[in-house]
Amino acid sequence: MQAKSCTDYPADIYPLSQTIKPAETGAKIMPVTLKNKNIDIKAVAKKALKDDKLLAELLGNLRSKNETIRYNSHKVLFFITEEQPQSLYSHWDYLVEFLDSDNTYHKLSAVHLLANLTRIDNKNKFEKIFERFYGLLDDKSFITAAYVCSASGIIAKAKPKLQTKITNRLLSIDKTGHQQERKDLVKAAVIEAFEQYYKQAKNKKRIVDFVRKQLNCQSPKTRKAAKEFLNQIDKHS
């Protein structure tokens, strides 16, 4: 399917400035099932891949005030970025706008979706937003920082040339303005990211040193993640 640009759609779906209009009720184009908490993600995604208007509505629903519709739409789009990311690549710039949103949920959606799209980012669009993306490590919400960290494993594997820069950002989590207790929680996500690309990483010693320090971390979750990471390293050493 040839993806359309924003300007190819009617104004009621993509108004001026390439900003997608959110669905108010989810009933205009979307199946009514999007209002339900339990939907068939795969079925809706399959339909959206064959229907440009439906795909546009899903993207617009990321701004929906109806949380069920918004979250269901995110899950469908996330599925698409995992299975057929090229179908959403033309909407990269629209998703990037969400990184500057005042709404934490909007930012989390963008982090998830953009991370998956880096796997087919042959135009190196992510490199242009690197600072903007990793600036979210110091977001007002530590949850956003955690999502950025956990998504970094996907990005590092997709962008080997950025691995050192990514590693440096993750190792600098203590320099963010979050409370120490929250930094300690975020470190579990940092370790999760390291697990995904450790074998290809050039900074193995720095990564291992960081993880070892987390054995004494205040967060039980991070201590557990550190122990499991080091156990895996020992098994393959």
Cα distance between residue 63 and residue 23, in whole Å: 8
Overall number of domains in the chain: 2
Residues 148, 175: contact at Cβ < 8 Å?
A: no
Same domain? For 87 and 15 the reply is yes
Same domain? For 145 and 108 the reply is no
Same domain? For 5 and 114 the reply is yes
Cα distance between residue 46 and residue 66, in whole Å: 23
Largest separation between any pair of C-alpha atoms in the chain = 58
The pTM for the full model equals 0.84
| Cβ neighbours around 219 below 10 Å, total | 18
Q: At what angle do helices 67-83 and 52-60 cross, to 10 degrees?
A: 130
Cα distance between residue 36 and residue 198, in whole Å: 40
Same domain? For 86 and 163 the reply is no
Residues 170, 149: contact at Cβ < 8 Å?
A: yes
Same domain? For 112 and 157 the reply is no
Query: For 218, which DSSP code?
Result: S
Same domain? For 37 and 113 the reply is yes
Query: For 100, which DSSP code?
Result: G
**End residue of a domain, out of 122, 156, 181:** 122
Same domain? For 31 and 96 the reply is yes
Same domain? For 89 and 135 the reply is no
Same domain? For 113 and 134 the reply is no
Same domain? For 8 and 114 the reply is yes
Cα distance between residue 104 and residue 222, in whole Å: 23
Range(s) of the domain holding residue 180: 129-237
Tens-digit pLDDT string for the chain (237 aa): 333 333 222 222 222 222 333 333 343 544 447 888 889 999 999 999 999 999 999 999 999 999 999 999 999 999 999 999 999 999 999 999 999 999 999 999 999 999 999 999 999 999 999 999 999 999 999 999 999 999 999 999 999 999 999 999 999 999 999 999 999 999 999 999 999 999 999 989 999 999 999 999 999 999 999 999 999 988 776
What tokens were used for 211? 């993880």
Same domain? For 115 and 176 the reply is no
